[in-house]
Amino acid sequence: MVNQINVIEFLSLARTIPVIDVRSEQEYLQGHVPGAINVPLFNNEERAMVGILYKNSGRESAVLKGLDIVGPKLVNFIKRLNKITNEKKVLVHCWRGGMRSENMAWLFHVAGYNVYVMQGGYKAYRHFIRNELAKPVPIIILGGLTGSGKTDLIHQLGKIGAQVLDLERLACHKGSVFGGFKQPDQPTNEQFENNIFAVWEKLDHVKRVWIEDESRMIGNVNIPEPLFEQMSRAAMIMIVNNQEQRICRLVDEYSIIEEADLRIALLKISEKLGGANTQKAIAALKVGDYQTVAALALSYYDKAYLHAVKKRKNQEIHFLHLNNDEPTEDVNLILETLKLIN
């Protein structure tokens, strides 16, 4: 049986039933429903070929060519699906819920599967998640200068059961010019949004959601505008600790990076850092004086961060001085500070 269902129903079933994305490899890599498995009806070249034929010769010629391409693949499609799941249920989508998903759904149905097709396809899914990310949620921002340990504290909040949206983990980047080291490749911007929503939909939108303060861009990806707008309007708890602590944390984190890579990163911010400071930082790097490198980098990042804080739409900022550098203890102080926020 083939069932046409809306995006909400599709995502609900996707928690227990495999999702088959029948678009081309290129479309899938650009962005896909998290967890979906790509079983393309046409590969990149075949899709382009059929599209050109449709444009130049009409629908009938394109359909015949498509059948000619797909025919020899039918058995392999079924064999692959049988390896993916032993259950006789499967979710299918293409770009707009058109011929590709309809044809694959028919094939899977003939093979004995109960098939659910997403109405409107991936395009409808993208529209849906953008609207969902715009819905108001009680967000609380955890801020602080570079090296203040915000990420560790966000992780600790998650460990004790608080709702956390870890944007840096989803972006595979820690935010600064140094933030891509020792990280997986970043997702596309589209996939970043999809990954955010995969976490977002599981949250209780009545309860607080903790998010680390971020600029609009994390590495090469952008925080979705509706979400970034909510973050800008949220109250902030800003961590304050001494520079020595921050320098030590940065040295621990980045001194393991190759000198050449750190030098390239420093050169990327040389205009903002200033010529003299850049040369001092590179000279310190050569002799392994990472404390000096970190201190000079902070001279730029501190100014940039404080400037960004002043531009926030919500200036309700509660400063919390932390000196212990013990996340398990500091989280209790953060939760106490939270009581000051309505």
pLDDT in tens, 317-328: 999 999 877 888
Q: Which pLDDT value is given to residue 159? A: 95
Lateral strand order in the sheet of 37-38: 2-5, 114-118, 89-93, 19-21, 37-38
Among candidate residues 105, 130, 155, the one where a domain is terminated: 130
Q: Choose among 296, 295, 293: nearest CA to 285.
A: 293
Phi and psi angles of residue 332, each rounded to the nearest 5 degrees, phi first: -65, -40
> pLDDT digits over 190-241, tens only?
999 999 999 999 999 999 999 999 999 999 999 999 999 999 999 999 999 9
The percentage of the chain sitting over the pLDDT mark of 70, rounded to a whole number, equals: 92
pLDDT at 161 over 90: yes
Question: Which pLDDT value is given to residue 62?
Answer: 62
Give residue 208's pLDDT: 96
Q: Which residues are catalytic?
A: 94
CATH number at residue 53: 3.40.250.10
Helices marked H in the chain? 7-13, 25-30, 44-57, 59-70, 74-84, 99-110, 121-133, 150-159, 167-171, 189-200, 225-233, 243-254, 259-268, 270-273, 275-286, 290-310, 327-338
d(CA 38, CA 36): 7
At residue 288, what are phi and psi to the nearest 5 degrees? Answer: 75, 20
What pLDDT, on the 0 to 100 scale, is given for residue 213? 96
Domain finish residue from 130, 150, 172: 130
Going by pLDDT thresholds of 50, 70 and 90, the confidence category of residue 66 is low
> What span, in angstroms and rounded, lies between the C-alpha atoms of 145 and 301?
8
pLDDT exceeds 90 at position 256? no
Give the pLDDT of residue 223: 97
Dmax of the chain from CA atoms? 72
Mean pLDDT calculated for residue range 76-84: 92
Reported confidence tier of residue 257, pLDDT bands at 50, 70, 90: confident
pLDDT at position 41 is 87
- The range of the structural domain enclosing residue 207 comes to 135-338
Total number of domains in the chain: 2
CB 263 within 8 A of CB 232: no
Same domain, 78 and 15: yes
Q: Say if residue 64 is in the same domain as residue 163.
A: no
Q: In terms of DSSP bridges, do strands 217-218 and 221-222 run parallel, antiparallel, or are they unpaired? A: antiparallel
Q: Are residues 170 and 289 in the same domain?
A: yes
pLDDT band at 183 (very low <50, low <70, confident <90, very high): confident
Q: What is the pLDDT of residues 264-285, one digit of tens each?
A: 989 998 888 998 999 999 999 9
Q: Are residues 140 and 121 in the same domain?
A: no
Which whole-number Å values give the CA distances from 138 to 60, 141, 328, in the listed order? 53, 10, 24
- Return d(Cα 120, Cα 106) in angstroms, integer: 17
On whether both 214 and 274 belong to a single domain, the answer is yes
**Domain ends where: 130, 165, 185?**
130
Residue 182 pLDDT level (bands cut at 50, 70, 90): confident
My answer on whether 189 and 160 are in the same domain is yes
CATH number at residue 299: 3.40.50
